[in-house]
């Protein structure tokens, strides 16, 4: 049975800041990496629900440029988790229609992880289902700076159109809805350019606990918004 969300009011593109994994683990007296694993499992589950609803694009903040400052054990746990889940996505690509792309500077990762990223992009590039973008080693200021440097080196006149076309996720459309879990109410250097006109939904629910009914609540809230894009 489908949810009660009016399909006419669904966003085309949902972006999610998946916050609260560490606090979820701490509440259960578990290491932070147990929370990251629970969060990764939740992403897989909700991606399937988002695809079922008919939403076309999903972008999630998986690893920021600032996250490298976390304790080394936690960072290495995150890298290990990416290896594991990217392999699962590679295996899943044979039986589902989900497309995966990436934003962020992946050059920092070791060659075998970069190879899995390229393999995923190649295997899923013709898929027609939900388009999932993973933001890894991503920071919006870094993205904008890299794009500006590239255009300057090319001698290209920089305006809104050329800068937009040079950003990591182009031509994916801008998000319509941003969801941030975990109780914080800030963008944390996530898609600063692309979120200019997104509706922003904040919830105290920690990401591993954010389930289908919580997603449904966010979508219902979005459906009640009047989007004027600066007009009346």
Where in the sequence numbering do the catalytic residues fall? 19, 67
CA distance 17 to 223: 20
CA distance 63 to 21: 12
CA distance 44 to 84: 13
CA distance 230 to 232: 7
Q: Tell me which H or E stretch contains 187.
A: none
Residue 115's CB: how many other CB atoms inside 10 A? 12
Do residues 63 and 78 touch, judged by C-beta distance below 8 A? yes
- Please give the backbone phi and psi of residue 202, each rounded to the nearest 5 degrees, phi first: -115, 140
Tokens 């690893």 found at: 63
Sheet holding 177-180, edge to edge: 99-103, 131-138, 57-64, 13-17, 177-180, 199-202
């Amino acid at each position: 049975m489908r949810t009660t969300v009016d399909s006419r009011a669904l966003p085309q593109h949902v972006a999610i800041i998946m916050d609260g994994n560490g606090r979820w683990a701490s509440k259960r007296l578990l290491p932070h990496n147990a929370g990251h694993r629970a969060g990764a499992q939740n992403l897989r589950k909700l991606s399937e629900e988002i695809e079922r609803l008919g939403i076309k694009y999903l972008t999630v903040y998986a690893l920021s440029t600032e996250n490298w400052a976390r304790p080394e054990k936690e960072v290495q746990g995150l890298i290990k988790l990416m290896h594991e889940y990217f392999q699962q996505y590679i295996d899943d690509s044979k039986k589902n229609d989900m497309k995966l792309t990436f934003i962020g500077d992946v050059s920092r990762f070791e060659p075998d992880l970069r190879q899995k990223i390229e393999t995923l992009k190649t295997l899923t590039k013709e898929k027609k289902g939900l388009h999932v973008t993973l933001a890894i080693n991503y920071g919006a200021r870094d993205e904008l700076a890299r794009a500006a440097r590239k255009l300057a080196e090319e001698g290209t006149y920089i305006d809104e159109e050329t800068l937009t076309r040079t950003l990591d996720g182009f031509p994916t459309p801008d998000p319509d809805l941003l969801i941030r879990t975990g109780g914080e109410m800030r963008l944390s250097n996530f898609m600063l350019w692309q979120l200019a006109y997104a509706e922003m939904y904040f919830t105290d629910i920690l990401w591993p606990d954010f389930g289908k009914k919580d997603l449904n609540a966010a979508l219902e809230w979005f459906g009640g918004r009047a989007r004027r894009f600066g007009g009346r």
